[in-house]
């Protein structure tokens, strides 16, 4: 396969900076989805959005109505196409097919959401210095998904030239809400990978933190459960009637400390974090409400389940100690998956034709960190007898993922597009 890029590196950088500047949190990627849909439709794709690609009955962790409305209005004010916004019907993410007339076969996935963190305005941070820092408060592309959206768009546009050579359909999925593990399950439930045999996804960075490096497959992702806990107590005067109050803040504090004290599991890695606590209204009022945003992780589904069950027990008994009613709401969930060796071999082989990737920096099976929602797609495809891999595209990173100053090397964009196109053609050639 000969590859002469038709989408220039300059154009890819322009796309990346546009996505970066319009960073949007999971399930609120209105501007991003409309932008992608418009570009892809203009190139001739029949773009699928809305209920057709996303089963809302499986949706978890949807921000509250006021937040969603404000984000939708912000997207429109920032120039999102109103026609596409209307067609999306409140659902973000999109799917395009290269050959919808042929059987389902190959899937490439790109995630498009931002992280809930306030982007640095410091001069040493390139997006701030070059004027493409996020214009949305506390929504920041601190996990390189702006790069992924760009690579996905570039790949779709480049692949149009190879359309007539395809033996099967190649589907490109732009997944919303990868952060918090909320986007894949509703898409799988809507059938977007039904019949698919081969799957490829890649993340910039992760454990490939050197320019020109490439990790062909991944193991060691953690299964995870994201959940909110609410405590409902009773307010009272802190001087006159503290004995009449039922203090939700104390229940939340007790639950927080004790969740972090769950015994480690002897059979594998575990994590637990209470990342956010809200409680109280005033200095002299016994707090009558508290909310915790939490997550557990484990090296296997069973080990994560162990963590989550212990966390639930602690919440129940913290509520008991402080006479609270309580509610636990699961906001997101993903399992672990291991890349398949035949796919790892394929990535290794096709990358030989992309000179950007250096042979001495190539790793066949790398370690994941944290979790990735791509696992839900990989598992679904593996269950129907197919194969998948999750690659890592190397970049020097000034700071770690989810940090306010996260950034990556834009030089990798065009080579990454080429890698994805070569993978799509190589997967298509398989039976």
| Smallest distance, Zn ion to C-beta of residue 143, A | 3
Q: Hunting for tokens 């790949």 — which residue is that? A: 155
Provide CB contacts within 8 A for 70, sequence distance 6+. Answer: none
With CB under 5 A, what is the number of residues at the site for Zn ion? 1
Task: Give alpha helix (H) positions in 179-300.
Answer: 184-189, 248-259
Nearer to Zn ion, 308 or 408 (CB): 408
Q: Residue 357 has which token pair?
A: 């990737």
Nearer to Zn ion, 183 or 287 (CB): 183
Distance between CA atoms of residues 294 and 310, nearest Å: 13
The residue of the chain with the least Cβ separation from Zn ion equals 143
Residue 112, interface with Zn ion (CB under 5 A)? no
| Smallest distance, Zn ion to C-beta of residue 401, A | 5
Phi, psi (5° rounding) for residue 288? -105, 5
Nearer to Zn ion, 91 or 143 (CB): 143
The rounded Cα 42 to chain-centroid distance in angstroms is 26
Spell out the long-range contacts of 328-331 with Cβ–Cβ below 8 A and sequence spacing 24 or more: 328/227, 328/228, 328/229, 329/227, 329/228, 329/230, 330/60, 330/225, 330/226, 330/227, 331/60, 331/61, 331/180, 331/182, 331/226, 331/227, 331/228, 331/293
Stretch that binds Zn ion, among 32-40, 116-124, 135-143, 157-165 (CB under 5 A): 135-143
Query: Among residues 179, 193, 134, which one has the least CA distance to residue 378?
Result: 193
Identify the bridge partners of residue 276 per DSSP, sorted by sequence position. Answer: 293
Quick check: helix, strand or coil at residue 234? strand
Nearer to Zn ion, 171 or 401 (CB): 401
Stretch that binds Zn ion, among 15-23, 52-60, 138-146, 152-160 (CB under 5 A): 138-146
| Smallest distance, Zn ion to C-beta of residue 175, A | 11
Question: Scanning residues 4 to 23, which ones bind Zn ion (CB under 5 A)?
Answer: none
Nearer to Zn ion, 154 or 368 (CB): 368
Nearer to Zn ion, 143 or 159 (CB): 143
Distance between CA atoms of residues 296 and 275, nearest Å: 11
Stretch that binds Zn ion, among 23-31, 34-42, 65-73, 136-144 (CB under 5 A): 136-144
| Smallest distance, Zn ion to C-beta of residue 204, A | 8
Stretch that binds Zn ion, among 26-34, 143-151, 157-165, 181-189 (CB under 5 A): 143-151
Nearer to Zn ion, 214 or 249 (CB): 214
| Smallest distance, Zn ion to C-beta of residue 154, A | 18
From the number of C-beta atoms within 10 Å of its C-beta (0-12, 13-18, 19+), residue 344 rates as buried
Residue 201, interface with Zn ion (CB under 5 A)? no
Nearer to Zn ion, 96 or 143 (CB): 143
Nearer to Zn ion, 143 or 229 (CB): 143
Residue 143, interface with Zn ion (CB under 5 A)? yes
Provide CB contacts within 8 A for 418, sequence distance 6+. Answer: 3, 5, 158, 354, 356
- Contact of 197 with 387, CB cutoff 8 Å: yes
Residue 222, interface with Zn ion (CB under 5 A)? no
Residue 151, interface with Zn ion (CB under 5 A)? no
CA dihedral (16, 35, 46, 82) in degrees, to 10, reads 180
| Smallest distance, Zn ion to C-beta of residue 72, A | 23
Stretch that binds Zn ion, among 86-94, 141-149, 303-311, 335-343 (CB under 5 A): 141-149
- Contact of 229 with 327, CB cutoff 8 Å: yes
- Contact of 391 with 200, CB cutoff 8 Å: yes
| Smallest distance, Zn ion to C-beta of residue 214, A | 17
Nearer to Zn ion, 143 or 172 (CB): 143
Stretch that binds Zn ion, among 96-104, 142-150, 190-198, 318-326 (CB under 5 A): 142-150
Residues at the contact surface with Zn ion, assessed by CB under 5 A: 143
């Amino acid at each position: 396969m000969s590859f002469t890029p038709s989408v220039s590196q300059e154009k890819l950088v322009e796309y990346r900076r546009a996505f970066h500047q319009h960073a949007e949190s999971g399930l609120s990627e209105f501007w991003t989805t409309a932008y992608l849909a418009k570009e892809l439709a203009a190139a001739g794709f029949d773009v699928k959005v809305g209920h057709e690609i996303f089963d809302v009955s499986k949706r978890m962790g949807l921000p509250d109505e006021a937040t969603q409305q404000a984000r939708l209005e912000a997207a429109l004010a920032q120039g999102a196409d109103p026609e596409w916004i209307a067609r999306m019907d409140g659902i973000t993410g999109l799917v395009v097919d290269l050959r919808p007339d042929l059987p389902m076969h190959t899937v490439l996935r790109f995630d498009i959401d931002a992280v809930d963190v306030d982007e640095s305005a410091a001069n040493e941070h390139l997006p701030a210095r070059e004027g493409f820092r996020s214009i949305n408060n506390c929504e920041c592309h601190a996990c390189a998904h702006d790069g992924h959206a760009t690579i996905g768009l570039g790949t779709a546009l480049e692949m149009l030239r190879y359309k007539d050579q395809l033996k099967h359909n190649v589907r490109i999925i732009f997944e919303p809400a990868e952060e918090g593990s909320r986007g894949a399950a509703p898409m799988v439930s809507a059938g977007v990978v039904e019949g698919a045999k081969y799957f490829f996804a890649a993340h910039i960075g992760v454990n490939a933190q050197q320019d020109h490096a490439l990790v062909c497959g991944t193991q060691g992702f953690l299964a995870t459960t994201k959940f909110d806990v609410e405590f409902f107590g009773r307010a009272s005067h802190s001087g006159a009637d503290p004995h009449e109050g039922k203090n939700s803040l104390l229940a939340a504090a007790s639950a927080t400390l004790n969740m972090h004290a769950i015994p480690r599991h002897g059979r594998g890695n575990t994590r637990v974090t209470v990342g956010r606590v809200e409680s109280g209204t005033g200095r002299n009022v016994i707090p009558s409400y508290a909310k915790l945003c939490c997550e557990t992780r484990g090296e296997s589904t069973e080990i994560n389940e162990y963590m989550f069950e212990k966390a639930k027990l602690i919440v129940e008994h913290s509520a008991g100690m402080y006479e609270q009613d309580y509610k636990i709401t699961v906001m997101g969930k993903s399992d672990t998956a291991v890349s398949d060796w035949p796919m790892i071999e394929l990535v290794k082989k096709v990358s030989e034709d992309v000179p950007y990737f250096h042979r001495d920096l190539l790793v066949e099976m790398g370690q994941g960190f944290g979790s990735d929602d791509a696992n839900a797609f990989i598992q679904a495809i593996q269950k129907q007898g197919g194969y998948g891999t999750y690659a890592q595209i190397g970049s020097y990173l000034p700071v770690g993922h989810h940090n306010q100053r996260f950034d990556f090397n834009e030089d990798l964009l065009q080579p990454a597009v080429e890698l994805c196109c070569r993978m799509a053609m190589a997967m298509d050639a398989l039976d």
